[in-house]
Every structure is written in structure tokens, then in C-alpha cells.
Amino acid sequence: MPITTTRRRLLAGSAAALALPAFARAQGAVKPRLTAISQWSAGSDGAAITALGKKFEEKGGVWQHSPVPGFTTEMMNKLRAQIMAGDPPACSQLKGPEIAAWSKIAPTVDLDAVVAAAGYEKVVAPDLAKLHKPGGKWIALPLQIYSTNMLFLSKRAMDKAKADKVPVTWADFNDLADKMKAGGVPYPVANGGTRPDDGQKFEAALAGISPLAYRAAIMNLEKKALEGPEIKAAFAQVRKIADWMDPNVGAQHFSTNLKRFIDGDMGMMIMGGWAQGVLRNAGFKFEDFMIAPGPSDNSKPVFLLNADAFIFWQRKEPDLQAGQTLMAQLVMDPAIQTMYSQITGSIPVRTDVDLSGEGWSDGQRRTAAALKDAIASNQAVLSLAHNMAQENGMTAAMIDVITEYVKNKTIKPEQAATRLAEAVEGAR
């Protein structure tokens, strides 16, 4: 392993040395231009990408971003149409294993030289890096990271339970939920009813019980792991969580119930880091809630990675090529990542960014620290519910089982585990 790494670095380094003057020339000769599509049009996402565009223009580039508002799938439909018409954008939003899948249908840009020149690889979580270099070459760059299993605690619900300790393991979590229920919190777990919501409950449970089993079963789809006891234990934990949730939420978005969560009507929420931004936007104060890494039975933080990224599509136009180089440099730049994450509430992809300064929240600092710890203990894994662990088809087949299990209390954990393994087989 160390040998291959060195050789790869050597290769990358020499490629960079050869390529750099060419980039410099290209940038000198033409005005860099970038055509980009993403779903980020409004709110903090829209503000962040607009700010990125401003930086691009400050560097002398022409920024041509066409947002496709709505779900990611709608952005993908536009991307699909453009690729089929032979006119892909120079750069588009895409994430997770979809990067590998889509890179097979149209040629992408080899970013190895630019990445090596920036020394980027050593500051990116290894699992994350792998997703962005499907054929061994960097073709996409991650932009920002969220953890999907942060634990949000309502201060008022904690007061009702007379508790002040943040739960570390699932046993602690279950204890606290019981205490909350006894203390008069009607629903110890706050939730929404969407598919990713249900998926997040399961992935948080499994990764918290055993990150190793999560990696084997969910990320590598190993048959033995899928039939293992950890999966059943995770489903059993999900049933407990589901019993503590308000059944009336139906298919609502998690944000619908944030007021009840803050009021202490609901106690704990397992949600991505973005909920912090939503809570803050809704006018709630940091004193109203606490943020901690999700429960982990070995007490070391488990980090379920969700990362937005840009993929770069091959174009012949010199100005677009120059624009792609400039964009890649910007996306890897710590200052740009800082700017971006401070707007959206995510954390930077680079693990070497200092979050102690102003502009960062405690939640972001805690998330970044959790990521660092999780990488060190090999407990940073890829989120299933947010399409990071598997391609969309496989993800959807697995979430089908999970969401049905959450909503149907007659299904036993053993049955759910069997169905999950069957769904994986069916979707292979």
C-alpha cells in the first residue's frame, strides 16, 4: 500500500509538472468561462453558489450558472438531455456513486494534475476521495460535507427529563428517551416522514451499532454481512425509534415539526447537519438545542458522510477548459471552502481547515472534530439515505424496505433483514 501511494504521487506530481505550464498558458491566452448546472437556486445554497460565482469572476472568469430548481433528479434530467445532445455543461453538480455511473456515458476531464498540484488528496477523507476518482483518476471534486447522523437535543425536553448528559451509545439514547417519556415529553424522537428521513434512522442505527458491519453490508453489499446479526439489531433499534416518534407526521418534511421539538414536545432528532441552518433560519437560538455526534456503541464518533460535488465534463473550447481549471482550483481552495460552508452550514471537505475562527458555529466545529476522529478510527462511512453509498437504483430498493418497516409495525426485525438482503439481490 505505501509503495503504490508513493508511485501514484510521483506520477501525479510529474503529470502536474508537465501540465501546469499548459494550464498557465491556456489561462493567459483566453478568458476562462464556465458553464455549470446545479439545483442550487434559492436559500443558503443559492447564496453560496452565487458567492462562488463572484469569486470566479474576480479571477477574470465568465460565470454561466444555470440552476435547475427542485429535486436533484430534475437537475439530472437536464444533465441527461444535454449529454445526449452532445453539449454537456463544463461542470455540473453530481455526487456519490452517481459520479462513477454518469462518467461512463460521457467523457470527463482528468483532474489529476490540478489535484496533485494543490496537494489535495491528503486532506480528503479516503472513502470520499475514492468516489471522485472512479477509474483511478480525479474527475470530480467534493465541495462541502454534511454528516447525516447528528443528534439534536431539545433543551426543554432535556429539562423535562431532568437530564443534562448527551447520550453517547444507543443504550444511553434509549435511556434518555424513556426518561423523556416519563418526564412528560409525548414524543421523545422528532421526525419527518419522508424516505430519506426513514433511511437516516436506519443508517444511524446500523453505523452506530457497528461501523464495520455498515461498511460491509451497506457500502460493499457483502451477502454475509447483510444477513448478519448487526442488521437485525439495527432494525430492532429503528423499531424503538419509530415507537417514540409522532405517527401523525405522515409524509411531512422534518422541518414541519421543529417548533414542537424546540418546545420540548419532541425530544431528540437524528438529522443531517443542515438542520442547524434550518433551525437558525426559523429563528431559534443556540440555547434552545444541543448538537452532538449520533450514538455510537464503541463511544468513538461515527460519521455518515454526505458530500456535494462537481463533476467536470470534457469540452473542446479552450475558454471552457481554462474555466474548468480555474473552477477546480477554486473548489479546492481552503478560503473558498470556508466561505461556502459558512453560508450553507456544512463543513469543509478539507480536513486541514481551522474552524476556531468567527463565522463557524459550535455545531460545525463539533461536526468537523467528529469527522477527524471518525477518519482516524476508520468510522467515517458513506450515507445510504443520501445516495452516497450506492447508486440511486440500489439505494431506492433498500430504502423501500426501510421505509415500509418504519411505517408497518407488524414487520419483525428478522423479516426486515431478510427483505433487505432480497432487495439488494433484486437490484444488483
* Nearest CB to another protein, comparing residues 54 and 104: 104
From candidates 182, 354, 393, 414, binder to another protein by CB under 8 A: 393
Per CB under 8 A, the list member of 182, 251, 335, 376 interacting with another protein is 251
φ and ψ at residue 65, rounded to 5 degrees: -95, 125
Closest approach of another protein to the CB of residue 224, in Å: 24
Cβ nearer to another protein, comparing 258 with 355: 258
| Least gap, CB of 258 to another protein (angstroms) | 15
Residue of 2, 4, 86, 248 that binds another protein (CB under 8 A): 248
CB 62 within 8 A of CB 323: yes
Q: Which of 63, 102, 138, 274 binds another protein (CB under 8 A)?
A: 102
Sign of CA dihedral 322, 325, 331, 333: negative
If binding means CB under 8 A, how many residues of this protein chain bind another protein? Answer: 33
Q: Which is nearer to another protein, 173 or 202 (CB)?
A: 202
Q: Of the two residues 214 and 405, which places its CB atom closer to another protein in the complex?
A: 405
CB of 409 to another protein, least distance (A): 10
To another protein, the closest distance from the beta carbon of 306 in angstroms equals 17
- 73 touches another protein (CB under 8 A): yes
User: Taking CB under 8 A as the rule, which mask of x and - marks residues 347-386 in contact with another protein?
Assistant: ----------------------------------------
What is the dihedral sign for C-alpha 162, 164, 170, 171?
A: negative
3-state secondary structure the chain: CHHHHHHHHHHHHHHHHHHHHHHHHHHHHCCCEEEEEECCCCHHHHHHHHHHHHHHHHCCCEEEEEECCCCHHHHHHHHHHHHHCCCCCCEEECCCCHHHHHHCCCCECCCHHHHHHHCCHHHCCHHHHHHCCCCCCCCEEEEEEEECCEEEEEHHHHHHCCCCCCCCCHHHHHHHHHHHHHCCCCEEEECCCCHHHHHHHHHHHHHHHCHHHHHHHHHCCCHHHHCCHHHHHHHHHHHHHHHCCCHHHCCCCHHHHHHHHHCCCEEEEEECCHHHHHHHHCCCCHHHEEEEECCCCCCCCCEEEEEEEEEEECCCCHHHHHHHHHHHHHHHCHHHHHHHHHHHCCECCCCCCCCCCCCCCHHHHHHHHHHHHHHHCCCEEECCCCCCCCCHHHHHHHHHHHHHHHHCCCCCHHHHHHHHHHHHHHHC
State in angstroms the smallest separation of the CB of 263 from another protein.
14
Q: Does 392 bind another protein (CB under 8 A)?
A: yes
Using rule CB under 8 A, residue 69 touches another protein: no
Q: How far apart are CA 328 and CA 412, in angstroms?
A: 48
Q: Does 339 sit near another protein (CB under 8 A)? A: no
The total number of residues written for the chain in this structure: 428
Write down the least CB distance from residue 337 to another protein, Å.
29
- Interaction between residue 101 and another protein (CB under 8 A): yes
Tell me if 92 contacts another protein by CB under 8 A: no
Does 264 bind another protein (CB under 8 A)? Our answer is no
Residue from 403, 417, 420, 424 touching another protein (CB under 8 A): that is 403
Cβ-based nearer residue to another protein, 80 or 372: 80
Establish if 249 lies at the interface with another protein (CB under 8 A).
yes
Q: Which of 61-69, 78-86, 89-97, 321-329 is the region at the interface with another protein (rule: CB under 8 A)? A: 78-86
Q: How far is the CB of 66 from another protein (least distance, A)?
A: 19
**Using rule CB under 8 A, residue 391 touches another protein:** yes
Q: Which residue among 24, 42, 84, 335 contacts another protein (CB under 8 A)?
A: 84
- Residues binding another protein (CB under 8 A): 73, 76-77, 80, 83-84, 101-102, 104-105, 193-194, 246-252, 391-393, 396-397, 400, 403-408, 423, 426
